[in-house]
Every structure is written in structure tokens, then in C-alpha cells.
Amino acid sequence: MSTVGARLSRQSVTAESSGRRGRIALAAVCAGYALGASVGWGSEQVALFMGDFGLSIAALAAAISCFLYARAGASEFRPAWLLFSLSSLMAACGNAVWGWYEVVLGLPVPSPSLADLFFLCFAPPAIVGLLVLAKRPVTRAGWVCLALDSWLIGGSLLTLSWSLALAHTAHVADVEGGSVAVAALSLAYPLLDIVLVSMVLALHFRRSSINRSAVNTAVAALALTVLCDTVFTSPLLRSTYHSGQLLDAGWFTGSLLLAYAPWGARRSEPETARPGSTATRTTSRPIAGSLAALTPYLAAAVCTLGILYTVVEGRRVDRVVIFTGCTVVLALVVRQGIMLLDNISLTQELAQKENHFRSLVQGSSDVIMIAAPTGILRYVSPAAAGVYGREADDLVGSELASIIHPEDLGRVVHELRRFLAAPPHEEPTTRIECRFRSGTGDWLNVESTVNRHQGGLLLNSRDVTERVRLQAQLQHNAEHDPLTDLPNRALFTDRVRRALAGRRSGDSGTAVLFIDLDGFKAVNDTIGHQAGDELLIQAARRLAESVRAGDTAARLGGDEFAALIVGDGTRDQGAREYQVHEIADRLRLTLSQPYRIGASEVRVAASIGVAFAEPAITPTDLMRNADLAMYRAKAGGKDRVELYAPQMQADVVRRSELAARLRTALRDGEFALLHQPVVHLASGTVAAVAAQARWRSAQGILFTPAEFLRVSDDSDRTAELGRWLLEAAVEQAADRARAGHPVSVSVRLSAGRLLDRALPFGSIEALLTRYGLPSGALMIEVADSDPRISFDDLEQRLVALRRLGVRIALDGFGSGYAAINALRRLPIDVLKLDRGLVEGVVESARLHKITSGLLRIACDLGMQSVADGVDVPEQVLALRAMGCTHGQGMAFSGPLDEYRLRRALVRGEFPVPGSPAAQPVMAGGSIPLLSGSHSETPVPPT
């Protein structure tokens, strides 16, 4: 139980205990008074005091209690309690005057007296107070019925009272010659009591439901007072009455009950409705309604009994009795006429509402069914024919369970039992969703609102099959790739999470495969994106057909796929790795088979990375490991399977750290520019210098381009480095020219960088103009021949550069498949032999012939040639004999800083091994050349 519930429970128990003690105390006081009155209080003086002032004190207590309650409460019934207070005050004053005569003065009370005036004023405030407490009629006919009911009760009681006593009292007063005041006083008491009783009975079934216990107690107190007044008005008792008799106990109890009513009754039963009180009130309403309907007939019966009593006694029927009886009968007839008209109006209204609701039920698109407590359908609306495809008459009499899907029946029965066991005021309705059998035998998704109906169920059902299908489709679309219909990244991640968190969470045999299609971008670029989409669809179909039933194949995006291989509980990790590797290799072969796209046949390869689950690994880490393994497979040559190893993550961390340091070095200016001389092989003179960038780290390590460009995967940083290298090379070349060393400089740029928008066409011309570098003093070396680069765009770019006086060299000649095409289309001035050809030119006769043939091509095209990586004298002799004009390498000099470069330029030449056996094909002068290979490792100290 919550804290608030416990507190309310304790307050309820405390209030009930306090109310019980109050009732016991009230009963004890009243019983004590009755016991004292029955024994005469021991003396005549005490009896007179208790019979007069005791009643006055009790009535005064009632007046004070009702007044305080009226002031404390701000409800609409506050005037009623003020009137009850005034009525009790009148009774207290009357008893006080009575006691003044009998106790203080010792005289009999005169008749009439001031006490009679106070007692006569007791009834009118009480009557008006009862009217305030009653529910007010809302129509004019209601007010008429209330007046007729009051007269029926009052007239009946007047007839009976007149027949029994009042006629005799009036006759005695007339015979004895008493005054009119005495006769009127003798009749006023019973008549006012009759009016009060009539109001009590007429309003008993019309009282408000607010603070019902207090109202009932107040009505009971007034009824007890009126009963004692009626007994007192009988001639036999009044002639022998004296104060202190047992009759005073009734008035005393009535006053204390009225004093107790607003406080004790409210404490004993709080106004807040208790659980279960609704059912109690509902049960009592038919009884109260029946008694209210029988009240006019009971009144007429009482009136008839009064007349019959007069006739049986042999007395002449008094004119008062005849008049009163006739008016009672007339009032009954009028009331019955009003009731008849009301019944006719209610019948018509009920018929209209019934037709209205029948039209609503029959015209509703929802199916309304009523099921008995046994589950038998008692009513089915006509909409069943349109919704279920079954006639309503066919369903009536069948069991509700017979049309519910067997898989849903248990859940539906459980929910209905829970609903019926719950309190109606806490859960008036419930909602269930299940499948119903249609007339065609199909199952429809039906949503039903269930209400209680006479112990059974009332179901309002509608067909939601389309909504369920739409929800399922939306869910499917949210979790699947729209092109291949494979699970997408979100669903695949969820499947991996379930595999790691399920009953096989400790199974290290669970593996994730990341798959990338090598060469897919070339398919898009060559034959179009539509063909690429068709290739992806076929690849997805192959992948889905290749995995096991319990595994998952997914498309993560682009040409990346993934597969989840669920572990089979194998304890041998080596055997499991071999098995998964075999599955991955089979997938690689399947995905590498040719694809039929239209009339053409397309081939792509597959690089696959495999990562196995480890204890406490997260889905994100497992998928990251598979991704790293896949990139290692692509870096290792593609079309292969690579298993994840912890070293891969360490390499990624190292590369990330080095890349971050590289970005910092660019910002802080930690790069240095070195130049390597390009030497004429015949004379040893310096023909040009090749600019090369070096990075001096904070630890004093000088990184070569092959080392720091490998981690510079940030295109923005790479572009920034290229711009710095070009500007620094042009600036230092201009400084050397002004210092008397006019040697050309070569800068190596990739074809992709030349076409990058980050290096606009006017930037090189602006550099040459800004630093005053003459035409021909700068050579751009095209570093690679990427097949994705458009030769048309590259040709336009190089032609524009040549118009600026920039010379063009082709780097890596002899290694790329596009070298011949480049020679055919691009404006090339110098051919630079690939380092791989130079390294084996002395030892390998095959390389010797290939290199010799390439140099012959350069000679035939009228181009100069440069050998990169000439490190030993034997290579110098062999290349010079083949006709190579220039060389660059450690056989002459390594990369030099600006100071050592100028010293070399002052010297003007380097010693050449041996003497030239023959005149070189092309005499060398100073030519603009580009830098050599970017894999140099020996770096001289600077």
C-alpha cells in the first residue's frame, strides 16, 4: 500500500472508532434519562427539573450544534441546518418557560401561555428546513406532484387523527364552553405535527445524496419528536401528564439525535464514497423507488381506514372527514392523471430512443455482439455480414470461442477473466485484439471494446486487418533495405545484440562477417547506376541463399553487406574458426562469380572481414572488429578473407594518433622542404632538383613521405600539404635564382590533386608571377595513373599548365597499365623510370631488356629520361649504356637542406663512376624535373 493509501486508511479507521464511541455515549445518556424518567427521578422536584430544564438543555444543545455546523459548512444546505437550529431554539425556550412556571414559581402552566407560542413555532422552521434538504423538482409537474403527495399524506393523517381524537377534542371544547384560543390551541398542536409528518414522509425519498447519514439522523430526530407530540396530544395522556414522565425521554432523545446528526454521523461515515458503496446504492434504489410509488396509495388507504373506523363506531361521519377524504381522492386522481401523462411521454421517448439506438446499431460499421456468461452469442448486429462475411443469424447461438483463432484464444480468455474479476468502477471497459474467422475461412484482425452486460459481455468489434497489414509493412520497411529487401543496419545490429545476449551469450563461435564488393564503383561509373543496383540485388540474393536458416544476411549500405553466423556451441575454437573461415571463403567465391546484367557480363570481387564474439563484447565492438578485418582484407590485395586480430585495432589507434599529429604539424609549420639533385649521367652536372617534404616531429624524428602520407587519409589535410609543398618549392627556387643558382625545380603532384578544385587553374600562374620564377623553371610530375581519372579532363589541365611555361613529367613509367595511353594523349616532356625497374636492372636480364626498351621509346618520342632510385655505381653505368640521360639517387646525393644544396650547386657537379662508353642519346642540360619516389628512408642529418 502506498503512503497516501495507508494514511487514508488510518484516517478512516480513526474516524470510524471516534464515531462508534460517540454513538455509545449518546445511547448511554438517552438510556440514563429514560431510566430516571421511568422511576420518577427519586423526587418530584428532580422530576420537574429534568422534565422541563433537562429538555430545554437538550434542545439548546441541538440548536447550538446545528448552528455551528451551518457556520462551518459552506454547502447549499447551510440554510436547512440554520432552520433546524431555530426550531430547536424554539423548543428550548418553550421548555424553559414551562420549567419557570413549574419549578421556579411552583404554579401550573396556564393555557394558553408563552410556552405554547414557542412550541407552536417549533414546527414551521423544521418544515422549511426539510424542504431545503429535499431535491427540488425540475419541472412544473414535479412541483405539482410534490404538493399533491404532501396533501395526500397530510390529508390522510388528518382524516385518521380527526376520526380518532381531534373530533372528540373539538366537541369537548365546544360543550365545555371553552374559549376559542383554547380550542384552537388544542387543534394546532396535532395539525402542525401532521404537516411535519407529511413533509417527512413526502420528502423521505427525495432527500439529497450529499451527507446522507447526517440528513437521515436529522429526519429520524424530527420524526421521534413528532411521534412524542402526537402521543402527548391524546386526551387520555394529556389529562394525566406531568413533567418528568417517560414521554419526556422521547423528546430528550430526539433533541440529542439532532445535536449529534451533523457531527457524529459525518465522522462515522465519510462523504467520500467507499469501495463497494456504488453497488449498495444501486441495490437500494429499486426498493426506494417502489416505496415512493406506493406512497399515494398508502395515504389513500389510511384515509379510507379513518372513514371506516368512524362508520364502524356508529358515529356520524364528520363533515371535516368527508371534505378531507374527498380532497384526498381528488388529489390521488389528479396525481394518477399526471403520472399517466408522464408515462405516455416516457413511453414515446423510450420508443424514439429505442428506434434511434436500433438504427445506430444496425447502421454501424462496427459489429456489436452480446455474449452470455457461458460465452454463447445472444445478439449479433447486421454489420457482421459486411465485416465478417457471415450472416448475423448464423452467429447467434454459437460460442464466441469458435470464431477466435486458436493461437489467440488463451490470451483472450485470460484477459476477459481478469476484466470480469476487476471492480467495475475501477475498470469499466477493456480492449482486446485477436483474429476472427470470416465467412470465407480467412482470419481477420479484429479490435473489440468489451463492456459488462448483465453478467455477460458486450463487444463492439471492428475490422483492423488493413491497419495491421500497414503496421507490419511499415515495420518491415523500417528494418529492411528497400533495394535488396535484406535486413538493414538497424535490424542487423539488433540481431547481433540478441545473439550476444541470448542463451548462447557465452558462445565464442558466434561470428560477424563484413563484406565489401571490390570494383563496384567502376561498375557504376562505366555502365550506370541502374546496372549497379541490379548487381546489388543479385549479390544480395546470392548472399541470402548461401547463409544458413538461423543466420542473418544484411545490407549495411552502398556495396557493403554483412552476415551473422550464430554459434553452434562448439567448444573447439580452432575448429570453429576453420568452419567460419570456410563459410566466408565460400561466400567470397559465390559473390565473385560473373553477374549477368542485361546483355553484358560483369565481374566484381569480395573482400570479407571476420570477427568472433568474445566474453562481454558489445555488438558495436564486434561489428567494428569485423569492419577492421574487412579493410585489412582490402588493403592486403582485395578478394580475400581476413580474420580479426587485436593488432588491427592497435594499428588503427596508431594511425589515428599519427594523423592527428600530422594535422597539428601542418598547423604549427613543422614540415621542412628538402631537395635531391637530378644529375646528368654523362657529365655529373646538376640538371635540376626534386622538391621533397619532410616532417620533423616533436621527438626529433624526420618522417619521409612514404611514412606520413600513408596515414594522411584526410583529403583536406593532404590538399593543404600539397599547396604548401608547391608554394615552398617555387619560393625557394626563386630565392636560389636571385642568389645566382638558376636551377629548375620539380614538384610531384597526383593526377587527382591536379584536377581537385582545391588547386584552381590560376593558382600555379599566380605563384610563378608572385615569386618571379621564369618560364621552364617549374616542372609538375604527374604521379599516378588512376583509372578513375578522366583522361580528357587531365589532358585539358596539363595543356593549360604548359601554356604557363610549366613542363610536364610522367612519373612511374613502366609500372602503370595506363602508361601507353598517357603517352598517346597527354603532353609529356620527360619520362621518369619507375624505381622497381632501376633496382633490378643490373641483376635481371629481363628487367634489363624491359628498361632498355622503355628508354628507346623515350628516345624515339624525343623525350628526356630520368632514372629514379640510382643508388649504386653499377646502376649508373648500366643506365648510361642504355641511353638514360639523367639519374636521381644515393649514387650521387640524398635529399639536401637548403644550405647543403647551395654548396652542391656551387660545386656544380658530382663524380660519375667510370667514363662514358658512348655518347648519350640526348645531351643533357638543365631540365626541370619532378621529385623521385616517396619511399626513401635514408635521410642525411641536417
pLDDT tens digits, one per residue of 65-122: 888 888 876 566 778 888 888 988 988 898 898 888 888 888 888 877 788 788 778 7
Amino acid at position 663, single letter: R
Q: DSSP letters along 368-411, please? A: EEEE-TTSBEEEE-TTHHHHTSS-HHHHTTSBGGGGB-HHHHHH
Which has the higher per-residue pLDDT, 22 or 3? 22
Mean pLDDT of 552-569: 89
**CB atoms near residue 480 (< 10 Å):** 17
pLDDT of residue 507: 60
C-alpha to C-alpha distance for 145 and 142, rounded to whole angstroms: 5
Spell out the long-range contacts of 326-331 with Cβ–Cβ below 8 A and sequence spacing 24 or more: 327/151, 327/155, 328/151, 328/152, 328/155, 328/156, 328/159, 328/299, 328/300, 328/303, 329/300, 329/303, 331/148, 331/151, 331/152, 331/155
Mean pLDDT of 132-140: 66
Return mean pLDDT, the chain: 78
- With beta carbons less than 8 A apart as the criterion, state whether 923 and 682 touch: yes
pLDDT tens digits, one per residue of 572-608: 778 888 888 899 999 999 999 999 988 888 999 999 9
Which has the higher per-residue pLDDT, 649 or 161? 649
Q: Using the predicted structure, report yes or no on whether residue 639 has a pLDDT greater than 80.
A: yes
CA 285 to chain centre: 45
Q: Using the predicted structure, report yes or no on whether residue 173 has a pLDDT greater than 60.
A: no
pLDDT of residue 929: 42
pLDDT tens digits, one per residue of 200-221: 555 554 555 556 677 778 878 8
Number of H helices, E strands in the chain: 34, 21
C-alpha to C-alpha distance for 225 and 856, rounded to whole angstroms: 141
Mean pLDDT of 264-271: 49
Close Cβ partners of 874 (under 8 Å, ≥ 6 residues apart)? 842
pLDDT of residue 928: 44
Amino acid at position 153, single letter: I
Q: Using the predicted structure, report yes or no on whether residue 6 has a pLDDT greater than 90.
A: no
- pLDDT tier, 541 (very low <50, low <70, confident <90, very high otherwise): very high
Q: Using the predicted structure, report yes or no on whether residue 838 has a pLDDT greater than 50.
A: yes
- pLDDT tier, 440 (very low <50, low <70, confident <90, very high otherwise): confident
- With beta carbons less than 8 A apart as the criterion, state whether 222 and 185 touch: no
Q: What is the dihedral of CA 779, 784, 787, 793, to 10 degrees?
A: -20
Q: What is the largest CA-CA distance in the chain?
A: 181
- With beta carbons less than 8 A apart as the criterion, state whether 224 and 254 touch: yes
Q: Using the predicted structure, report yes or no on whether residue 921 has a pLDDT greater than 50.
A: no
Q: Using the predicted structure, report yes or no on whether residue 654 has a pLDDT greater than 80.
A: no
